[in-house]
Structure 1
Amino acid sequence: MDRHDVSEAVTAEIVAQLHKEDLKIEHKYGCRGLTYWFDDKRKTAFCLVEAPNIEAIKKMHDQAHGDVPHMIIEVDDTIVESFLGRIEDPVKAQNTELNIINDPAFRSIMVVKFKPKSLEFPRSTSQNESLQDLHNSFSEIITSSEGRIVKQQLDDYLLISFKSVTHAVSSALAIQSHFKEFSNTFRTNELQLNIGICCGIPVTEKKGIFEDTIKLSEWLCDVVQGEIVLSADVKDLYESEHRNTSLNKEGVTILSSSNEKFLHILMDYTEQKWNKADLKMDDFSKHLGFSKSQLYRKMMALTNTSPNNFLKKYRLQQSLKLLKSKTGNISEIAFETGFNSPAYFSKCFQEKFGILPSKYIHS
């Protein structure tokens, strides 16, 4: 999939003509143009092409019309369809020479996590069945809001794509409401719900489709305090679609642009350095450009967690992934995730998840 950043003068009809020119010569380069998306508002176009390599796509575009892509990434067609709804051109309108597709690839991406606070919950068959019912209900809400489930893990994770910001937000609010009803009906006060929503385009400087947008949605879900956390762009788009109707609702947190920038710097640095045993908060302060007291206040306001506890929590989440995949024994995992002592690691793990890692790994 490639991305073209076009000028203000480019219209959907012009992009359709360029697509038509590609199709005329695609065979020369072993390519097959499947479809494209055009966003007139943001002046971006995206082409989905079967090709032997990136150079073949560049050469095809260059000979056909000279508009060489700004970025090309390798994608799986089934994943593209999950996010964008199609991998071929729509049926051409009758009595038209061109197949004009004025269909933006801009999407609202939502991450939903509903998980037990303790790894010992749920235990019983009835509780497991209740969790399955909850998952099914979420899926029904998403489908009724015209969302497309891209990825799901039965126990705790949903990744969803929406064409409309309005549908994404209304779906999140419906999930939040249903979750509260579920928690009151069943004994599930140990369950925690978190939802993150942001929006973006499929091809950026990263290698994966919607990679930037997915990552930010996961950060909103995992790091920022609040049941539903929205990026500033989601808030602005929603209010513009609803004549400035406020999104100040219970359980909804809106991340400001400045806090979003801070979150990017914080998480980029954390993901690079988290497993270094000698990593200290002084390192975070220097990298982010804050004094210790400023960093503490900023972290508490954004995450409701002190810098030291934030790093420990992040390391424990990474250790949980390693324990689930059974890559290494407990001592190896402790040192690999930045803990200086297996005993201290076990203590922190039990405090966080309600179970010793030795018991969890054998369960």
Structure 2
Amino acid sequence: MPLFIDFHQFDKVTIDEVKTAHIADLKIQDEYGVKYHQFWVNEEAGTVFCLMEGPDTETCELVHHLAHGNVACAITEIQQGFYQVAMGNTVKSKGGVATFTSGEIDVAYRSVLVVSVRAITLARDSKDVKSLLLPTWAKELVMEKFVEFGGREIEWGDDDSLIAIFNDAKQSYKCANSIQEQLSSKPDMSPKIIFKMGLSAGLPVTEDGDFFDKVFKLSHRLCNSANDNQLLVSALIAKLANIDIQASTMKNRVMVPTEEQLLSDLFNITENNLSDMNFNMACLCKSIGMSRSQFYRKITAITGRSPVYFLRDLRLEKARVLLQQKSGNVTQVAMEVGYSNPSYFTKCYTEKFGFLPSLS
């Protein structure tokens, strides 16, 4: 049967209350061909997530409704393999509540670390490019660190980022710092590299019914926003891992919620207008509701780059992904990311990545 997870939001909720509701589900589930496995409770956030199998979402919701009346805000079907990687190994204790093997209650927060690594050596042919996009020595180091700190690798087909998901926010932050330290301390390795990292956390299902989509999106956006060799950390990670925001530096920067919202708005607007060749800084500032000077100051403070260069980098990174995915020739991809002049696009692309777009 299909596997589902649902999301409930309460003003106040206790584990005992959810245990009682879970027992009520178990009493009638067989009549409807549904099997409730376990649940996660976060008393502080007032959130509950229930894992179940059933013929469809409507039948799963019906059992909740008949058993205790607590209908979910959202329910989504999930793939067994991805669920196991995303949530990791949890234990169903007596009463159905999810715990870790240590016996600690699992409140369902997960942390996602995205690492982007590429070489800075000039490439002469397509074989060189393949080895430079994700240098073997750096990839192996990152993967070893994922395992060392309890991360589970997530396969990602959209680009060549390295991604891991963690049960523990503190461990994910330690992993990110260790990767940063190790990659920065090997100047003699060949090829030389630059890297960027984004680290965020979240709960599995949102009111939109997305299963970790928002967490992955934020981690990728933080990674894309990071400067060379920088780690950007979300505000929630800082809270969960007890990170001192005052200790934030440009190499290891902790975001505040207003900055995260600004980046979210920036990416949403930019992604919707990426192919518009007339979309410029004036349009962006107007869409985001800031003066040019105010926008310049805020984006430069977050990313270490002016908005003009930040927008250029977003376009070129998108172009690199499209070219890797064989989504069109150089001219078509240039147009897709807002460059009307293929020659100028080639010049900008080569300056940024060290090889011609035709070699991607």
State the TM-score bracket (shorter-chain normalisation).
Answer: 0.7 to 0.9
SS state of the match for residue 151, structure 1?
Answer: coil
| Uncovered stretches (5+) of structure 2, i.e. residues with no partner | 99-104
Q: Aligned in 2, Cα 1:178/1:315: closer, same or farther, shift over 3 Å?
A: same
1:274 counterpart letter in structure 2:
L
In the alignment, the residues of structure 1 paired with residue 11 and residue 303 of structure 2 have an alpha-carbon distance, to the nearest angstrom, of 40
What per-residue deviation string (whole Å, max 9, x for no partner) do you get for residues 110-130 of structure 1? 1112222457299679x78x9
Paired residues of 2:149 and 2:171 also in contact (CA < 8 A): yes
Counterpart residue number, 1:305? 305
In the alignment, the residues of structure 1 paired with residue 164 and residue 303 of structure 2 have an alpha-carbon distance, to the nearest angstrom, of 24
In the alignment, the residues of structure 2 paired with residue 23 and residue 158 of structure 1 have an alpha-carbon distance, to the nearest angstrom, of 40
2:281 counterpart letter in structure 1:
M
Paired residues of 1:75 and 1:208 also in contact (CA < 8 A): no
Q: Which residue of the other structure, out of 196, 211, 223, is the alignment partner of 2:198? A: 196
In the alignment, the residues of structure 2 paired with residue 270 and residue 206 of structure 1 have an alpha-carbon distance, to the nearest angstrom, of 22
Counterpart residue number, 1:329? 329
What per-residue deviation string (whole Å, max 9, x for no partner) do you get for residues 87-112 of structure 1? xx83545xxxx344342111122111
SS state of the match for residue 278, structure 1?
Answer: coil
Counterpart residue number, 2:91? 90
**Distance apart, 1:202 and its partner CA:** 0.8
In the alignment, the residues of structure 1 paired with residue 128 and residue 321 of structure 2 have an alpha-carbon distance, to the nearest angstrom, of 23
Alignment of 1:279-298 (within 5 A): 279-298=279-298
Alignment of 1:59-208 (within 5 A): 59-86=62-89, 90=91, 92-93=93-94, 98-101=95-98, 102-117=105-120, 120=123, 131-151=135-155, 156-181=160-185, 183-189=186-192, 191-208=193-210
SS state of the match for residue 155, structure 2?
Answer: strand
Counterpart residue number, 2:102? none
| Uncovered stretches (5+) of structure 1, i.e. residues with no partner | none
Paired residues of 1:239 and 1:247 also in contact (CA < 8 A): no
**Distance apart, 1:337 and its partner CA:** 2.1
Structure 2 residue 47 is the aligned partner of structure 1 residue 44: yes
Counterpart residue number, 1:228? 231
Structure 2 residue 347 is the aligned partner of structure 1 residue 344: no
In the alignment, the residues of structure 1 paired with residue 278 and residue 56 of structure 2 have an alpha-carbon distance, to the nearest angstrom, of 43
SS state of the match for residue 319, structure 1?
Answer: helix
SS state of the match for residue 74, structure 1?
Answer: strand
Counterpart residue number, 1:5? 9
SS state of the match for residue 277, structure 1?
Answer: coil
Counterpart residue number, 2:57? 54
In the alignment, the residues of structure 1 paired with residue 118 and residue 208 of structure 2 have an alpha-carbon distance, to the nearest angstrom, of 29
The normalised TM-score by structure 1 is 0.85
Q: Aligned in 2, Cα 1:124/1:274: closer, same or farther, shift over 3 Å?
A: closer
What per-residue deviation string (whole Å, max 9, x for no partner) do you get for residues 29-65 of structure 1? 3322232212222221111222333222221110111
Paired residues of 1:33 and 1:47 also in contact (CA < 8 A): yes
In the alignment, the residues of structure 2 paired with residue 14 and residue 345 of structure 1 have an alpha-carbon distance, to the nearest angstrom, of 59
Paired residues of 1:148 and 1:161 also in contact (CA < 8 A): yes
CA RMSD of superposed structures (Å): 2.7
Paired residues of 1:206 and 1:212 also in contact (CA < 8 A): no
Q: Sequence identity of aligned pairs in percent?
A: 30
Paired residues of 1:274 and 1:311 also in contact (CA < 8 A): no
Q: Which residue of the other structure, out of 209, 212, 215, is the alignment partner of 1:213? A: 215
What per-residue deviation string (whole Å, max 9, x for no partner) do you get for residues 136-174 of structure 1? 332232222222222367x94222222222111111111
1:90 counterpart letter in structure 2:
V
In the alignment, the residues of structure 2 paired with residue 340 and residue 184 of structure 1 have an alpha-carbon distance, to the nearest angstrom, of 38
**Distance apart, 1:83 and its partner CA:** 1.4
In the alignment, the residues of structure 2 paired with residue 166 and residue 118 of structure 1 have an alpha-carbon distance, to the nearest angstrom, of 34
Paired residues of 1:75 and 1:209 also in contact (CA < 8 A): yes
